[in-house]
Amino acid sequence: MQKDLFLFTPPFTQLNTPYPATAYIKGFLNTKEIDSYQMDLGIEVILELFSAAGMTKVFDYALDQNSILNNNSQRIYALKDHYIKPLDGIISFLQGHNDTFARQICTDHFLPQASRFDQVDDLEWAFGNMGMQDKAKHLATLYLEDLSDFIVDCVDDNFGFSRYAERLGMSANSFDELYTELLQPLSYIDEIAISILEKKLKDIQPKLVVMSVPFPGNLYSGLRSCQYIKNHFPDTKIAMGGGFPNTELRSVKDARVFEFVDFICLDDGELPLELVSDYVLNTSSKSMGELELKRTFVLDNGVVTYKNNATRSDYKQLQIGTPDYSDLLLDQYISVIEVANPMHSLWSDGRWNKLTMAHGCYWGKCTFCDISLDYISLYEPIAANVLVDRMEQLIEQTGEQGFHFVDEAAPPALMRSVALEILKRNLTVTWWTNIRFEKNFTQDLCHLLKASGCIAISGGLEVASDRLLKLIDKGVTVEQVAQVTRNLTAAGIMVHSYLMYGYPTQTIQETIDSLEMTRQLFELGVIQSGFWHQFALTAHSPVGRNTEDYGITPHLKEIGFANNDVQFTDSTGIDHSIFSNGLKKSLFNFMHGIGFDMSLQEWFDFDIPETTIAAYYIEDCLNKEIFRSIKTNSKVVYLGNLPLIAPCKKIKKGKEVTYLDLVFHDKTSSFQIEIPEDQGNWLIDQLELLQPTNKISTFSQIKASYESKFNPFEPFWYSEEMEILRANGLLVL
């Protein structure tokens, strides 16, 4: 099975779905007829490690090393037979097989329990409404995490399900520590990864290995893999790309990095990789100095050199092809539920096809974001019909109808077009994405998105303070966020909010007021999930590039390797980390619908100021009347069913007039309107034309049609009967 290119993601990213970078690249290479094979090394290591045979070896190794020291690990070792016996069945269950096993998993005393089960008393509360399958997945996840704790304590302290030796990759301004670690003997996990990699390389015999490193937690293991390739396949060239080099390695100078790789490609990888491939496969007689490359670091005469001398332009999104998930073990990924949070489970439970609606961010202004980098700043949307074509191709290829659009912020106009295209093709899909909570997410648009299969939305409320939102240049207000999240929730779309504390110049009062805003949003039910994170300064953000404008002093170091996260001192002198536990504890309770009547002080073990936010602030925001005049070019769509029709007679001003009694049935209920016969016949014709399978009409076209037969349109459009219809599927977009 020889292939020219071998693409792989090193351990570890996600258990439930492949990280999409290699699938994106393979899809592009297909358009160039370049043979490639892809592999998620992480999931293959996990499957070998977390098997009855693999875990037996782990326990034996730990005993040989005399490393079973703490009480928790001693308990797990004492119960090792009970951990090993169900392991293969547990993995199979988490892969989506043998659903009936859930009943056994949920019975008392089936799974052995160590420290991860200390929270088990909360399960009935957490999973009472989520069902047995989810409860079983959560228990099985705790069981695997017990085994993971044993590995960390007794075998390899760098191990983690979604990262490996992450500390070595995070803010590694110098390559020294990482390089020293790479000169040490292989770890237990390294040995497993290298043995799997070796078999694959011998089978494929590639000329070029392409490694995608998305996160700091992939870096060490990735370089370990490259080290092995260099030592045992010296003629094979290695290119590295992905999220980590794109953000962290833009200033790399240390020549030792090129003992492991030959090329480091930045930003959109299609053209850089094509040029590297052409060199390796066709023109390798050229010297490095002669090469035409795009955004690529090489080692030229012992010096790290950035080459961006190719004159060709990057490919448009239309040209890069559909992601190709072939070669990956799609039926062997493991769905886990780590915490009882329905939104968090979307990241870890179930396999999602990953696509992007638009390259970059249509807003591109948030001051904490890396907006100076191409992956944010170069905004290019994909046409809706092309995107839905790709969805259909992925459904056929993978058998999965779930999609995670991995946009920085999906643009509402494009989301509308994609939703209409999905409905036009009568597809049944499930999808979710990330947005800005901006005013264009009207109630009607949210209902359209739901009808097309959107189940959840995540977005940044960030600091929940209008002053700080303005400083961030988020382009929204707390009032807007409240109204948009209400629209989404009312349409049946789950809402997750990213929350931030510790933004430069943020005061203690603003942190407490942000918490109060968040409390009210959860209490009113317009947000169902959230996550607090402390502000991190990055070198490529507006704050990082103009620190003096934001009242902070960066602690700069000499850069030889990675450069992204920057330590700093805030002029306020506040230690924002002290708020972490209280913010997260309160949020956990709010997500479960409790703690709203507690004072904010009760979440903290130190004195905090009283909030200045009025008790009904968010409720007042939601009660404000929002009148938006209808634009003449607004699209009008009818999502409901056509009515059952019965003529009826009414006496109006002494005359008998024929009306139509229209009865509309939807999936759960029905409603009825009566309308004069001539207007009723016109309306029925229009509703048929307005269904999304037909050509979309505009408001001005409908108005013109009505007024060609009847009186002015507005009194009819705003009549009680039409208001009922507007509330039941007649949308203006």
Is pLDDT of 571 > 90? no
What is the C-alpha to C-alpha distance for residues 534 and 521, in angstroms, rounded to an integer? 20
What SS3 state is found at 264? strand
- Share of the chain residues as helix, strand and coil, in percent rounded to the nearest 5: 45, 15, 40
Task: Tell me the two tokens of residue 57.
Answer: 């070896």
Is pLDDT of 125 > 60? no
Amino acid 625: pLDDT: 78
Is pLDDT of 340 > 70? no
Amino acid 290: pLDDT: 78
- Among residues 551, 503, 493, the alpha carbon closest in space to that of 526 is found at 493
What is the C-alpha to C-alpha distance for residues 293 and 307, in angstroms, rounded to an integer? 6
What is the C-alpha to C-alpha distance for residues 694 and 110, in angstroms, rounded to an integer? 55
What is the C-alpha to C-alpha distance for residues 90 and 52, in angstroms, rounded to an integer? 10
Neighbours of 374 (CB within 10 A): 15
What is the C-alpha to C-alpha distance for residues 662 and 654, in angstroms, rounded to an integer? 24
Amino acid 454: pLDDT: 96
Amino acid 420: pLDDT: 96
Backbone angles phi, psi at 432, to 5 degrees: -155, 160
CA terminus-to-terminus distance, the chain = 51
User: H or E element: which one contains 9?
Assistant: strand 5-9
Kindly report the CATH class assigned to 339-622: alpha beta
Could you report the per-residue pLDDT of 608-652, keeping only the tens digit for each?
A: 999 999 999 999 999 987 777 788 899 999 999 999 998 888 777
The helix/strand count (H/E) of the chain reads as 30, 25
User: H or E element: which one contains 263?
Assistant: strand 263-265
Q: How many residues does the chain have?
A: 733
**What does the pLDDT average to over 66-75?**
92
What is the C-alpha to C-alpha distance for residues 564 and 282, in angstroms, rounded to an integer? 36
What is the C-alpha to C-alpha distance for residues 125 and 105, in angstroms, rounded to an integer? 18
What is the C-alpha to C-alpha distance for residues 513 and 260, in angstroms, rounded to an integer? 50
**What does the pLDDT average to over 54-59?**
96
Amino acid 78: pLDDT: 95
User: H or E element: which one contains 730?
Assistant: strand 730-732
- CB crowding 204-215: b at 16 or more within 10 Å, else e: bebbbbbbbbbb
Amino acid 337: pLDDT: 80
Amino acid 347: pLDDT: 76
Is pLDDT of 354 > 80? yes
Residue 465: pLDDT band (50, 70, 90) is confident
Could you report the per-residue pLDDT of 497-553, keeping only the tens digit for each?
A: 999 999 999 999 999 999 999 999 999 999 999 999 999 888 898 988 998 888 888
User: H or E element: which one contains 380?
Assistant: strand 380-381
Residue 348: pLDDT band (50, 70, 90) is confident
Peptide bond connecting 12 to the previous residue in cis, omega within 30 degrees of 0: yes
Amino acid 111: pLDDT: 92
Q: Specify whether the CB–CB gap between 237 and 275 falls below 8 A.
A: no
Sheet holding 263-265, edge to edge: 36-40, 5-9, 208-212, 237-241, 263-265, 296-300, 303-307
What is the C-alpha to C-alpha distance for residues 568 and 537, in angstroms, rounded to an integer? 8
Q: Specify whether the CB–CB gap between 385 and 425 falls below 8 A.
A: no
Could you report the per-residue pLDDT of 202-245, keeping only the tens digit for each?
A: 999 999 999 999 999 999 999 999 999 999 999 999 999 999 99
Calculate what percentage of the chain has a pLDDT beyond 90: 72
Would you say domain 5-40+164-319 falls under CATH 3.55.50.30?
Answer: no
Residue 356: pLDDT band (50, 70, 90) is very high
Please name the residue ranges forming H helices in 106-154.
123-127, 132-154
What SS3 state is found at 270? helix
Residue 616: CA atoms inside 13 Å, Cβ hemisphere, count? Answer: 5
What is the C-alpha to C-alpha distance for residues 580 and 236, in angstroms, rounded to an integer? 47
Q: Which residue has the higher pLDDT, 172 or 293?
A: 293
| Tokens 């999906």 belong to residue | 410
Amino acid 554: pLDDT: 86
DSSP secondary structure of 170-181: TT--SSHHHHHH
Neighbours of 416 (CB within 10 A): 23
Angle between helices 132-154 and 52-64 (to 10 degrees): 30
Q: Which residue has the higher pLDDT, 350 or 328?
A: 328
Task: Tell me the two tokens of residue 253.
Answer: 């100078």
| Tokens 């056509």 belong to residue | 642
Considering the chain, tell me which residue range(s) the CATH 3.20.20 domain(s) occupy.
Answer: 339-622
Considering the chain, tell me which residue range(s) the CATH 3.40.50.2300 domain(s) occupy.
Answer: 5-40+164-319
Amino acid 649: pLDDT: 81
If phi > 0 it is left, if psi is from -120 to 50 it is alpha, else beta; for residue 205 that is left
